[in-house]
Every structure is written in structure tokens, then in C-alpha cells.
A and B are shown apart, each in its own frame.
Chain A
Amino acid sequence: MKKVVAIASILICVASTWKASLWPSHFPKPLYQREIKEATAAKILLGRTLFYDPLLSADNTISCASCHSPYNAFAHTDHKLSHGIRDSMGTRNAPALFNLAWQPKLTWDGASHHLDMQALAPITHAGEMAESIENILKKLASSTTYPPLFQDAYGKDSITSQRILKALTQFQLTLVSSNAKYDRVKLNKDTFTSQEVLGYKLYQDNCRSCHAEPLFSMYSFKNNGLAPDTNNYDVGRYNVTNDQKDSFLFKIPSLRNLSYTYPYMHDGRFRKLREVLNHYTSTTLSKNNNLSDELKNGISLTSNDKADLIAFLLTLDDKAFIFNTDNNFPRVTLLPQE
């Protein structure tokens, strides 16, 4: 009985994530309207449990959260490239997961068109979770945790691959980062310091054409002038489209939560924000023939400008999101005995 009450109260908390307001008032209308409409606390809790459960990997050691940690805005901090099952090294820096409902395409190269189907990539990849959906279905059906969770979320006999994927989407759509200092300033609940004001102006003059407010990304694909990485020679979006124009294009990441998501870029080559700014102000960018138009005229920032710009960028850190207990490890379902 106690357990039932505990689960019920958690359900009510989780439900508030979407229900309180469907999306932040200063954000545009998100994609995934149907999924948002269909959201229930039970589906979100199921998705959250799956997200944190290493059962999704072949040897039950790697969960989605292994590379997408809540305390790193669901990125993999301190790893240039993310590693998966049996210490295999990946080829890319795991992207932070937040504000996914505003992203028309997923992953660094946009290979995935829908959150449901995106999960299949890491689950089945030999170097990530190396598991099959068929086997996950067997593991879930024979567990004691999942049949009641699926029952609550989708009704009887409902452990299907479709629902596994849909539940993961339901949880991931609740990962909304909209409570940084920047957001409070926009809602007239806080004010920028004078240095942050200077930095905001520099951001508007130099960064916003690709990292537009309030999401701080257009979520389109650009070549930002990085030299090809020497380890993997990752051609980015070209992998997906086979179009020369897309060589070395990667998805523009959001500037939110930068303090939690280092290192930066698809291959994690920069550890510090200053290194990123030094890249954008360097003169070697122009040699690259696929360079995005926005960077063709170069960006020039003094050392003081860089300090001011970084001060502004740090106002995009969303502590409330990082420590939101609705998003982290679901003790109630995965460690119910404690």
C-alpha cells in the first residue's frame, strides 16, 4: 500500500512537467503536438524508467543515462567521445538532451527524423548498447518491474516495441530547459549585470543568426569551419544526404547549459568556452569551401569581449533543469526495495 501511494504521488509530480503549462510562454510552439497531447504521468514514468535502465543494453551495463547524464544536461561531460558497451569508444560527443520537442531532426548529422526512432540507433549499435529490440521485449516481459508499468501506461498486453519507443519519447519530451537566468530576465524576474548586458549585445551581433533565441539554436546544419577531425574524418551530414554541399555540416547545438556540457563540438575537441571563441575568431576558417555564410566575414572579438560574451553565455545555465528531481534516476521504479 505504501508503495502504491509513493508511486501515485510521484506520478502526480511527473505529470506537472507538461500539464502545468504545455511549454514555456516565451518559447515557440513545439513539434510533437500529438505526443504532448497523449502524454500521461504513467507513460512518462515508464519512459524515464527505461531511460535509466541498463537492461536496454546487451550485457545490462549501459543505460541511455550512461552517456546522457541528468547532471550534465543529459550530455556526457568530460568525455570527448562517448563510450559504450565493453568500453568501446564512439565516434562522437554525446549531445545534450533538452528542448528536443523543438528539434526537427536529431543527432549531430540529423540522421533521425523522429524521437521514437532515434532510440533504435544507440540501442542496436554494436559499440553503444549492442542490444536488439526483440531481446529487450523478452527481458521486459520477464521482469517484475515492467509489466505493471506498461499496464499503467498503455493497458493490458502492452509490452511492444512501439510502446517502448513511444514511452522513451514521452520522457525525453519533458526535458525542457527554460529556467536559466536569461529566461528570468526575459520574464522580468531578474536583471543582467552590466557585463552580461555587454555580452548579450556581443551575442546578438555575432552569434544569434545560428544560435537564435530563445532556444539558442536554429537546429539546422552548418559547417562552422572546424578542420576535419583526424581520428574519424567525420563528414557529418554528408553521411545522411550524400550531397557534397553537406560535407562537414553538423547540427547547431544550443548555447544553453554550456557549463554542464563540456567538452564542445561533435568530436569534443574544445574543453573550454574560450577555445571555442578562439576558434570562431581565428582566420583559418575561411579556407574551408563549405563554410557557412554566417562565418564568411569572420568574427572579431577582443579578449575583453570574449570575457563579456562568456559572462552572458553563463546566464544560459539552467540549474533548475539540472537538479529537477522529476528528470533524474527513478528510485521508485528501479530501486523500490530501498
Chain B
Amino acid sequence: MKVFLIGALLVCSPIFIKAQTHFKIDATYANRTLVLDSLYDNTYAINKLRFYLSDIVLIDTNDRIIYTHPKKHILVDLKHPTSQEVHFYNSLSDSTANLRLQFGIGIDSTTNSKGAMADDLDPVNGMYWTWQSGYINVKIEGTKQREEKSEEFQFHLGGFTAPYNTYRTITRPYGSLITIKMDQFFKQMTWERMFIMRPGEEAVDLINQFCTSIHSSL
């Protein structure tokens, strides 16, 4: 009798009980979780890594959006590991293999043109430029060793108007772990400028590098 009940629950669960699932977005260096302030390859250290995830959706094989995350914008900060966990409910436990995860990196121009906002979009989070309008989509700060010297770098990547719009939508196969391979990001650097703090060509190049360094692990 008991067995029968449990069996019935299992059969019914995809329909009646929505399972909580989540993915984690993690930064890595040489395939290992990146630790803030640690020196990698005797060259790079990252002190700060923050970015926005926006409009997170799951898309099925028929290109239908089957899930939209209720929070439009999420601020991910490596200093707060809980911010790296994106939780949602779904009832599709048996078919996640073919799903695609789509999300924006940064804040879209519509949101950028609105007035003051709260929570993850509150300017106190240090992700809003004060001298001009606009959210910082990705903030990467750290140090690079050069000829025995440690040099600071600060990349505040943003800009929401053409031709320097830095909002990007990316789609990856759905997996419970999304990784940003910072070693791959650094490999693409020219290091001509250590401070990029305003919208422009450099910010566009760096945001593209950042996005190509994002991978899905199933």
C-alpha cells in the first residue's frame, strides 16, 4: 500500500509538484572555481567581480519560452556566493537535457532609461555611474603582475546607447553550472589600457570577450 502511494506520487510529481531546481553561475580559472584575491599563473588576481543577469528564461526544443524568472535583474557578486545561485521552479525534470538557458548580461536600454530603482538596481550597489546615466553591466577589478610590479586594473563595462551598447543576450544549453572562464577572458586581453571606466569601443570589446568566456556545463 505504502509502496503504491509513493509510486503514485512519483508518477504525478512532474505535473502536480513543481520541483525546485537551480543553476549556479561561477567564475573559474583553469577549470577551478576562482577565489577572489588569489594570484593565478603568478600574474592575475581578481578582487572584485560583479555583473547583472537579466531576463532569465528557459527555452524548449520548439523555441518556446517555458519558464521566465520572476526577477528581471539579478546582481551577481562573487563576494556573496548566494547571489551566484539562481533558483527557480520547474516541472520538467525529465526533459531538461534539451532545454536552453537564455539570459542577458547587463541592463537593457529600457531599464537604463527609467528613473531610480531599488534592490538589485539600487545605485548604492556601486553598479551605477554617477557622472553619467547608465548601469555598469560588468565590473572586474584586480591586479596584474608586470615586471615584478603589481599593477591595478579596473574594468567598468557598460553603455546602453548605439554604437556602444554593451547589453548582451546569450543562450547556452541548460546546465546546472554556468562558468565564466576568466583565464579565457584574460587570454584575449591586449592590456593596452588598465582602466576602462566608460562606454566606448574598449568596453564593447571587453564585454564581447566576457560573453565568449561563458560556458555551460551539463
Contacts and interface: CB of A to CB of B under 8 A. Distances in A.
A7 interface: no
A161 B114 CA distance: 15
Interface in B65-122: 112-118, 122
A112 B133 contact: yes
Contacts of B130: 120-121, 123-125
Contacts of B113: 113-114
A134 interface: yes
A116 B132 contact: no
Contacts of A190: none
B131 A166 contact: no
A42 B137 CA distance: 34
A314 interface: no
Contact of B115 (A114, A133, A240): A114
A210 interface: no
Nearest to A113: B133
A36 interface: no
A117 B128 contact: yes
Given A111-B132, A240-B132, A242-B164, A117 B116 contact: yes
Interface residues of A, number: 28
A166 B116 contact: yes
A160 B118 contact: yes
A242 B131 contact: no
Contacts of A124: 130
B12 interface: no
B117 A242 contact: no
Contacts of A169: 115-116
Interface string B124-156: 100010111110000000000000000000000
B124 A133 contact: yes
A124 B134 CA distance: 15
B128 to A, nearest CB: 7
A78 B199 CA distance: 35
B131 A125 contact: yes
Contact of A133 (B118, B123, B133): B123
Interface in A312-332: none
A133 B118 CA distance: 13
B148 to A, nearest CB: 32
Contacts of B123: 117, 120, 133, 161, 165
B161 to A, nearest CB: 8
A120 B128 contact: yes
Contacts of A114: 113-116, 133
Contacts of A213: none
Contacts of B133: 111-114, 117-118
A115 interface: yes
B200 interface: yes
Nearest to B112: A113
A242 B199 contact: yes
A121 to B, nearest CB: 5
A125 B131 CA distance: 8
A162 interface: yes
Interface in A135-181: 137, 160-166, 169
A227 B114 CA distance: 35
A164 B128 CA distance: 16
Contacts of A35: 115
B131 A111 contact: yes
Nearest to A114: B115
B124 A166 contact: no
A161 B115 contact: no
B132 A165 contact: no
Nearest to B119: A162
Contact of A161 (B112, B122, B161, B164): B122
The 3 A-B residue pairs whose C-beta atoms are closest, nearest first, are A116-B115, A111-B132, A165-B116
7 contacts: A112-B132, A115-B115, A120-B128, A121-B131, A125-B130, A166-B115, A169-B116
Interface of B: 112-118, 122-124, 128, 130-134, 161, 164, 199-201
Interface of A: 35, 111-118, 120-121, 123-125, 133-134, 137, 160-166, 169, 240-242
